[in-house]
Amino acid sequence: MDLVRRVAGVPLVALVLGLLAAALAWYRLGPVPRNTVWAEDGGVFLRERIAMGPIDTLLHPYAGYVHLVPRLVVDLGYALPAARYAQVVALTSCLLVGGVCALVFVLSRDTVRPASLRVVLAAVPVVLPLAPREISGNAANLHWYLLVLVPWVFAYRARSWWGAAALAVVAGAAVLTEPLTVLFLPLLLLAWAAPDTDQTGRHRRLLALPVTATAIVGLAVQGTTTLTSPRALTPVVPALRDVLAGYLLRPVAGSWDPHLGAVLSAVVARGWAVVLVPAVVLLVVLVAAVVVAPTRTRWMVVALTLASVAVWAAALVANGGSGTRWSAPVAAMAGPPPQRYAAAAGLLLVSAVVVAAAALVDSGRWSRAARRTGGAGRLVGALAGWCVVTAVVAAAVLHVAPADTRRSDGPVWAEQLPAAAEACRADPTLQVARVRSNPWSSPVACAWLMR
């Protein structure tokens, strides 16, 4: 009976956690952003869905890679009445992020043992202060959340072939949405490091095969897409000092404060200590976890941290941010809003910090050499770990209310549709009406409006 309760309890807790996370993501958006269509959701993805149909768009390249999950979300929105399109896309995106949170909670149990800390880790995607600014509640940015999920999918040791097959589906959806998942490919070795057989003689290591094969095939598709439909850009490699300084001013600072303009102004006025002191504390926690934690935890901390820096650096190269002199900030640089890449790198960084804090708290799993530090070492580690977790929770609580986002000024989607429908009725030859979205305009098929 206890075994049944334990087995049934994990899916139930994960389900409740996922629903609560989705509800929190929805709440943090606020009413106007929930009803505003953002970027590719109303531009490229919707336009190509109307022109090409639901099948041909799924693996159609855009910006040099494939966007499977956002295309599916747009398909769902297009299948329902046009007036509900903005709400459907926002709600579906929030539900998918809630699913990411639930899966992180389940898949991280081999690495993070304390259930309370796994809840904190799982909640990172919806409590990050910067998330609602641009990446939350829209399909165009779902790939960042899948990037946070992938390391846990790759490293997880499946218990059954059914579980392995389900993970392979998740891995395929994620890899066919975000090519940077290649950063976590080495974590597949953790799944292959399972014992040769279990008590029934079943070959445990082979359970890693479905996810491995799916990941390799998916990344091959992404690589082929990049080669055959390259993104138009003129990359300029930024100076290393600007990459690191920008990382401190954006992803690191955004991990606890979404008002990055105020942070930069404080650095200009009072010096780099404003961000360097917290960054050094985070670095000490990360290094300490790498030193004392078991192999699985150690490599997860390293992978999440390095991927966070890599996402930020790649964004600077690929999106014209290499010209910003982050190492020499001036007051004028406080004006531009935070980039979505700061939030994406922040998700990975905070995840790494929470995993590191959990490793310090769970001293029973320290390496043999680390356990020799005795009670004092374990007490210091536990205090450091809980302080970091408290800081993460405090930052989340202080910024949980709906705040200013890039969609806070609308335009509200449904309010524009009566005029678009009238334009379709007035001109029987008109096939597509234009509706404003943010920051572009969107094509709305007259047949969809009249459906």
Q: What pLDDT digit, counting tens, does each position of 109-152 carry? A: 999 998 999 999 999 999 999 999 999 999 999 999 999 999 99
Average pLDDT, rounded, for the chain: 90
Shared domain check, 428 and 297: no
Q: How many helices (H) and strands (E) does the chain have?
A: 21, 2
Q: Is the dihedral of CA 120, 122, 125, 127 positive or negative?
A: negative
pLDDT digits (tens, 9 = 90+) for 65-85: 999 999 999 999 999 999 999
Is residue 130 domain-resident?
yes
Shared domain check, 146 and 279: yes
Is residue 275 domain-resident?
yes
Shared domain check, 374 and 436: no
User: What is residue 181's three-state secondary structure?
Assistant: helix
Which of the four pLDDT bands, split at 50, 70 and 90, describes residue 269?
Answer: very high
Shared domain check, 424 and 299: no
Residue 353 has pLDDT above 90, yes or no: yes
Pairwise CA distance, residues 257 & 250, whole Å: 10
Shared domain check, 441 and 388: no
Pairwise CA distance, residues 196 & 111, whole Å: 20
What's the domain count of the chain? 2
Is residue 306 domain-resident?
yes
The letter for the amino acid at 418 is P
- Choice between 358 and 231, residue whose per-residue pLDDT is larger: 358
Residues 6+ apart with CB under 8 A from 295: none
Shared domain check, 339 and 299: yes
Is residue 403 domain-resident?
no
pLDDT digits (tens, 9 = 90+) for 112-123: 998 999 999 999
Which of the four pLDDT bands, split at 50, 70 and 90, describes residue 264?
Answer: very high
Is residue 104 domain-resident?
yes
Shared domain check, 433 and 287: no
Shared domain check, 317 and 385: yes
Is residue 195 domain-resident?
yes
Shared domain check, 442 and 293: no
pLDDT digits (tens, 9 = 90+) for 389-410: 999 999 999 999 988 899 999 9
Q: What is the predicted pLDDT for the residue at 284? A: 94
Shared domain check, 129 and 66: yes
Residue 1 has pLDDT above 60, yes or no: no
Residues 6+ apart with CB under 8 A from 412: 32, 35, 36, 86
Is residue 138 domain-resident?
yes
Is residue 288 domain-resident?
yes
Q: What is the predicted pLDDT for the residue at 374? A: 62
Shared domain check, 438 and 295: no
The letter for the amino acid at 301 is V
Parent domain of 443: 414-450
DSSP-based helix, strand, coil % in the chain, nearest 5 = 70, 5, 25
What are the residue ranges of helices labelled H in 229-327? Answer: 240-247, 253-254, 260-270, 273-292, 295-318
Shared domain check, 172 and 41: yes
